[in-house]
A and B are shown apart, each in its own frame.
Chain A
Amino acid sequence: MMTYEELQELAASEVEKQEQHDYCVRVCLAAGCLSLYNDEIKNALEIAVEDRGLGDKVAIKGVGCMGLCAAGPLVSVEPDGVLYERVSVDDAPAIIDALGKDPVEHIHCPLDIPFFERQQKIVLENSGVVDPESIEDYLTRQGYEALMIALTEMSSAEVIDEVVRSGLRGRGGGGYPTGLKWQTVAKAMGDTKYVICNGDEGDPGAFMDRSVLESDPHRIVEGMVIAAYAVGAQKGYIYVRAEYPLAIERLKLALRQARRHGVLGDNILGTGFNFNIEIRLGAGAYVCGEETALMASIEGNRGNPRPRPPYPADHGLWGDSTLINNVETFANIAPIVRNGGDWYASIGTEGSKGTKVFALAGQIQNTGLIEVPMGITLREIVEEIGGGTPGEKAFKAVQTGGPTGGCIPKEYLDVPVDFDSLVELGSIMGSGGMIVMDETSSMLGVARYFMEFCMTESCGKCIPCRVGTAQMFRLLDKITKGQGTMTDLELLEELCDLTKYASLCGLGQSAPNPVLSTLRYFRHEYLEQIIDAPEPVA
């Protein structure tokens, strides 16, 4: 067990150790870049340093995601402030030789571009900077300072108050006010309470949570321990999908380190507070990310949703009050406690505070992970940060909210992005997927694709979703093939309405969104495919 003073000493000696090196070369070892053999580049850099006898001067550090995944493998150099893109093993000697001099030209990635300048990092502040496998490195970045403040200087009610004041809303998709959720769990009766971190992240193409877990796992641990203290929980679970082996490995290591350093387990930081965390692996069913299904899965049952109420705060894991929040939600907690709720609330819009991480994908120049303040416009994201659509093709729509989100056309690009404005546009924030589509994309095809996803991922428990998605998929398929009639279109709209309002859980309730939003903005594309469509009115 360590006291906070000892942790601070550890941090100070780590800083000292790091300052002995004149240069720090960071190599992204998150899954994206790792799949491009960045670990070999790290080896090559180490050899190059060795060959030049620079071992004392240059540190090579494996770090998490730097964001611009499209340009990976990425390597950065401090204090030069240089970023290298599309690095290959052969570039290693040149990178080392250029330390403190002009950067290597052909792989140099300028940092004064909107992709970097328009971002604001809170959740990702450590991503690509700290070594995710070192608690010492995390400590040098004010790690566990918030936990110490919470445990020693604040009552649990005060911690909750800061979260309420921050205006933070859940990042798992629903946007439920986090402070209110914490208050409810804190007030719930019963001595046993649980905290769950939802890291299921089932949206195809989404990797926000994975990236946080891989790049800065201690931040999640810290957020969960603070939450446990605030609501009075003794036991926590992190639910991660089994397809994220690297995230799981780093989390396991982080949990071990946290226990050894006294920030997790019994008598945390000598304050008498006890809290433990276990990892649970999900088998990858999309619906297991839904909170009641997720809890059933942790309990060892089939991951089926059940009706709410009762909500998890009231009747959660094994019937006890349970706080369940998303990975990104927990990632915001330490900075909120450190800097105060008012600081966080100063960022963003009236109804949506702080920043949001998006996974930018599709027909866009700069794909990757970005973090932007709420209230930024879609245009700024797509055209400035994303660099617009590649080639000559014109922008057509941006799809937000994952498989159950909606498509937003170019007329609405100037709308500020927040929970409520996206809903008004017929889409949702979801967990932060953002797919850009150019003029060659068929909106009908998009709707059909996502409906197929929902159909296969429906758990099958309730009839409107189980059969409704299957019938909607058939109708969309028929229309796509040019065999649909106006009656089919009417049936499709009726089914959208039924599935949206009669389904048991969020999957069914939001499965019609892609159809409804494309019908709203691109109805003509449906009509063009329909055999007995009325002539368009001029």
Chain B
Amino acid sequence: MAVRSRIKTLKIDGRDVSGHEDESILDIARENNIYIPTLCQLDGLSIVGACRLCLVEVQGWRKLVPACATYIEEGMEVFTNTERLQNYRRMILELLFSEGNHICAICVSNGNCELQDLAQKLGMDHVRFPNLQPVRTVDMTHERFVVDRNRCVLCARCVRVCDEIEGAHTWDIKGRGVDARVIPDLDIDWGDSPTCTSCGKCVNVCPTGALVVKGQPSGEMIKRQEFLVYLSEIREARNG
């Protein structure tokens, strides 16, 4: 069956752009080299709209909308970088930094971390909130990988990649509010997980140093995420 999709035209930051009706504001912005910060979104994974960093303003809309989870509409006027949005984004990052242990100097992901990059790019240079000092655990029981929940931003990328791409569904999120944390299977040691295939996809999609390969010297942990897009494209082609 031929899929027909309508073309919509819209404005992003004053520029005239166009796209298909099933594309998000984020898709179109990226296509036109307009930067919108993102954290939970990753090409190839389902959209959750959780981090709220990609919020944008739309002329005449009462609410801010997540660019990753909002389809384009005819005639909409999107603003991606107003002062209000910049403030919100910095504050969201401050909150993240106040929630866990994000001391970059002692992290294997130092220099290769999406959270660190965001903070630099968005100009978050200090945190005004006290650290919440949550009690979070490190699990080193897996043969090759480590999960350090102190560095987790709860983006749920690992949960999604494991479920949607690897098909193992090892990861889940347990607990509510600031007590939420990623757990393998029914909250057992990762090393004991009967479902984990040790494929390492979660490690590669994790934006921070929360999921890493064991034995990496500080700053050497480089993640590879290109595989995701290829995998999803191959799958789509196969499913016709």
Which A residues have a C-beta under 8 Å from some C-beta of B? 285, 287, 302, 306-307, 309, 455-464, 466-471, 474, 491, 494-495, 498, 501-504
Contacts and interface: CB of A to CB of B under 8 A. Distances in A.
Q: State the 4 A-B residue pairs at the shortest beta-carbon distance, nearest first.
A: A460-B180, A307-B49, A467-B95, A458-B177
A297 to B, nearest CB: 14
Nearest to A494: B91
Contact of A460 (B69, B128, B177): B177
Nearest to B62: A501
A466 B180 contact: yes
A495 B172 CA distance: 29
Contact of B64 (A287, A470, A494, A501): A501
A496 to B, nearest CB: 11
A306 to B, nearest CB: 7
Contacts of A491: 128-129
Interface string B169-189: 000110111111000000000
Contacts of B154: 460-461, 463, 466
Contacts of B48: 306-307, 461
A458 to B, nearest CB: 4
A464 B55 CA distance: 12
Contact of B95 (A460, A468, A501): A468
A323 B121 CA distance: 43
A498 B177 contact: no
A325 to B, nearest CB: 22
B179 A467 contact: no
Nearest to B49: A307
6 contacts: A306-B49, A307-B48, A455-B177, A460-B154, A462-B51, A504-B49
B130 A474 contact: yes
A462 B176 contact: no
B50 A464 contact: no
A7 B172 CA distance: 51
Interface string B98-132: 11000000000000000000000000000011101
A463 B92 contact: yes
A470 B132 contact: yes
Nearest to A508: B52
Nearest to B47: A307
B134 to A, nearest CB: 9
B10 interface: no
B158 interface: no
A428 B71 CA distance: 30
B49 A502 contact: no
A462 B64 contact: no
Given A467-B96, A470-B132, A494-B91, A456 B177 contact: yes
A287 to B, nearest CB: 8
A464 B132 contact: no
A346 B184 CA distance: 57
A471 B179 CA distance: 14
B193 to A, nearest CB: 19
A463 B176 contact: no
A471 B95 contact: yes
A491 B154 CA distance: 24
A308 to B, nearest CB: 9
B209 interface: no
A78 B110 CA distance: 78
B177 A502 contact: no
A462 B88 contact: no
Question: Which of B49, B71, B95 has the most chain A CB atoms closer than 10 A to its own CB?
Answer: B95
Given A463-B50, A471-B95, 13 more contacts: A455-B178, A460-B178, A463-B96, A463-B154, A464-B95, A467-B96, A467-B132, A470-B99, A474-B130, A474-B132, A501-B88, A504-B49, A504-B52
B4 interface: no
B50 A458 contact: no
Contacts of A502: 52, 55, 64, 88, 92
Contact of B63 (A469, A494, A498, A501): A501
B64 A307 contact: no
A470 B51 contact: no
A464 B92 contact: yes
Contacts of B91: 494-495, 498
Which one of B55, B129, B177 has the greatest number of beta carbons of chain A within 10 Å?
A: B177
Interface in B148-162: 153-154, 156
A64 B154 CA distance: 45
Interface string B39-77: 000000001111110010000000110100111000000
Contacts of A470: 99, 132, 177-178
A456 B179 CA distance: 9
Contacts of B88: 498, 501-502
B173 A460 contact: yes
A461 B71 CA distance: 21
A469 B52 contact: no
A466 B52 contact: no
A471 B97 CA distance: 12
Contacts of B180: 459-461, 466
A498 B92 contact: yes
Given A498-B88, A501-B88, A464 B52 contact: yes
Contacts of A504: 49-50, 52
Contacts of B128: 491
Contacts of B63: 501
Contacts of B70: 307, 309
A460 B130 CA distance: 19
Nearest to B180: A460
Contacts of A494: 91
Nearest to B84: A501
A474 B95 CA distance: 13
A458 B95 CA distance: 15
B52 A302 contact: no
A460 B92 contact: no
A463 B155 CA distance: 9
A463 B55 contact: no
A238 B130 CA distance: 43
Nearest to A475: B129
Contact of A466 (B47, B55, B66, B177): B177
A412 B172 CA distance: 48
A464 B88 CA distance: 9
A495 B180 CA distance: 21
A265 B104 CA distance: 61
A503 B52 contact: yes
Given A466-B177, A466-B180, A302 B172 contact: yes
B64 A457 contact: no
Contacts of B95: 463-464, 467-468, 471
A453 to B, nearest CB: 11
A467 B52 CA distance: 12
Contacts of A471: 95, 98, 129-130, 132
A306 B175 CA distance: 17
Contacts of A495: 91
B52 A462 contact: yes
A463 B128 CA distance: 16
